[in-house]
Structure 1
């Protein structure tokens, strides 16, 4: 059994794992493996926000696809949609790179075309993390279908040890061997004409946690959609509407879109947290996540190894200089705008 932390990032631990060295997880899970030469990855969320049928939104999405096709564009991207707490429709395209220099050159031009230009009836935003790989972890229930940032990785690991216990998420992050990754500072708003930029703080946490039920057959699909998904949605709505009090700045529960724009049988929650510790507290003890965990365990114990549902997540704890948030004509509860308490100009 492998460690989730790749050998070239292992270091003598100043902070110990939550499980003993002979721990045996009850079921298999896998992590993405990058080439050792990859020191950073980039995950960039490009959003379009509108109040209803907006031709400008479709034009903006076509324009974004054109930007992605330029030299230096992402190695992988996917698209999802959701309706937020203000009733606005949002389409979010998340793009991934494993070459920071390539991204920086591309983004210098793409940013101005995305959040630097007014479009009638819509808002646009971009949220970027560019972490060193030691600040990042992934987890997959199956090794043969990568999602998100794992698509730009070299491949998948064998079965890893650090999962299926509270604290496994932290134990999979290489930096956790020596660093508590505690947050520092408070988010601030910078007004650049009509553009609003949020400067967050050190050790901001991002999670993307996905579900794929496209392989399930009729009875399993019904069980997931009737018994698990409504409980998951309830928890996602809590984080969206009331998460700020427990350290969740913003949450989106999105349905992934197929290439033709139709809804797929995939979804993911994506949220910004004040800290990894705040995310851990919600996962371990908050009633909404306890309910999600209970529904998932009942589902998996009912189906056993025959379950076809695929689960994954990616978690990043980003340094202050690894973050960029910019919004144009978006409502004040959009993404990290919801976290801002002080305004500077």
Structure 2
């Protein structure tokens, strides 16, 4: 039995764990492993927003253009494509890229072909919305958990491998305790989410500034190789409770500290659905994510269903990754998106100081 925290990230602990040293988890789970060369990763959620079937071809073409830009130098080592229908009647195509160092992602982002495309006035005039939500947690600021050991999705795809069976899972609080930084840091938020430039209500270009220790969870489901019994288990038992919880956070997240919640379905470059999905949730803090997970009926139903079936999973692949970030390692930018999109909904407006002269 291993610790979820890699040896090179282990240090004397000043914050105690929730379980005793001899705790034994109820079933096996694993985490992604990377060596000390991995100092910081980048997760870039790039979106195309549209409304109605008449805009779908243009949105898909824009998505493919973004994917093509990954072939430039310093593109991501891994990416996937998803679709999300939000509660304002808009559809969102999202391209998610992962880099294993900040410098390469920065070079890609500032490549003239990428930077000029984003900055072009044409983005304001073509009738589509665009966004990019880019975060860069340090190695000690993210954790992973997998019910399988191969072909890791998400951030696991840029790590070096997989652990043995790990100890820190199967109890409330285990998510936090898989973070290396949790050994000595409560990961408390500081500062506010606020609009740095632009006006969400007016459209156009908007930049939102994040604060320290915003938490991001990606929680995924892969049933593409599941046989009939497990497929039915997912579609008939797990998915309905999962959908209820995700819809609650999409529609009422502000009441529990969730800034943005998107339950997405994976697609191919033509927009066809695949048998994979995941949830993307931005939270005001890890505390608020934990509080909802431990107490809200919608998540308790998800959790108890998973516990009931976890030991018998064969081809159904469930996982998650959770990260926190420093304020300076976040970028939230929107072009022509509706004001409820992503981090704009809860961002505090810019305060204009009236001149006295």
State the TM-score, normalized to the length of structure 2: 0.92
Residue matched to 1:181: 187
Residue matched to 2:355: none
Find the aligned partners of 2:180 and 2:37 in 1 and give their Cα distance: 16
Tell me how far 1:253 sits from its aligned partner.
0.3
Alignment of structure 1 residues 23-34 onto 2, 5 Å: 23-34=23-34
Tell me how far 1:147 sits from its aligned partner.
0.4
Residue matched to 2:166: 160
Aligned residues: 342
Residue matched to 1:230: 240
Find the aligned partners of 1:115 and 1:141 in 2 and give their Cα distance: 41
Alignment of structure 1 residues 292-307 onto 2, 5 Å: 292-300=302-310, 304-307=311-314
Residue ranges of structure 2 left out of the alignment (5+ in a row): 353-357
Indicate which of 110, 134, 152 corresponds to 1:146.
152
Indicate which of 52, 56, 76 corresponds to 2:78.
76
- Maintained 8 Å contact 1:228/1:299: no
Is 1:108 the counterpart of 2:110? The answer is yes
Is 1:319 the counterpart of 2:326? The answer is yes
- Maintained 8 Å contact 2:230/2:313: no
Find the aligned partners of 2:261 and 2:105 in 1 and give their Cα distance: 25
Indicate which of 301, 315, 332 corresponds to 1:308.
315
Residue matched to 1:11: 11
- Maintained 8 Å contact 1:129/1:322: yes
Residue matched to 2:254: 244
Q: Secondary structure at the match of 2:187?
A: coil
- Maintained 8 Å contact 1:80/1:254: yes
Is 1:266 the counterpart of 2:270? The answer is no
Tell me how far 1:72 sits from its aligned partner.
0.7
Q: Secondary structure at the match of 1:255?
A: strand
Is 1:336 the counterpart of 2:333? The answer is no
Residue matched to 1:205: 215
Residue matched to 1:172: 178
Indicate which of 115, 137, 145 corresponds to 2:143.
137
Tell me how far 1:338 sits from its aligned partner.
1.1
Is 1:289 the counterpart of 2:299? The answer is yes
Tell me how far 1:241 sits from its aligned partner.
0.3
Q: Secondary structure at the match of 1:182?
A: coil
CA 338–72 in structure 1, closer or farther in 2 if over 3 Å, else same: same
Alignment of structure 1 residues 38-49 onto 2, 5 Å: 38-49=38-49
- Maintained 8 Å contact 2:38/2:101: yes
Find the aligned partners of 1:94 and 1:344 in 2 and give their Cα distance: 33
Indicate which of 88, 98, 116 corresponds to 1:96.
98
CA 232–3 in structure 1, closer or farther in 2 if over 3 Å, else same: same
Tell me how far 1:115 sits from its aligned partner.
5.8
Residue matched to 1:214: 224
Q: Pick which of 52-61 and 273-282 moved more.
A: 52-61
- Maintained 8 Å contact 1:191/1:344: no
Find the aligned partners of 2:238 and 2:313 in 1 and give their Cα distance: 17
- Maintained 8 Å contact 2:67/2:95: no
Is 1:253 the counterpart of 2:263? The answer is yes
Residue ranges of structure 1 left out of the alignment (5+ in a row): none
Instruction: Provide the aligned C-alpha RMSD in A.
Output: 1.6
State the TM-score, normalized to the length of structure 1: 0.95
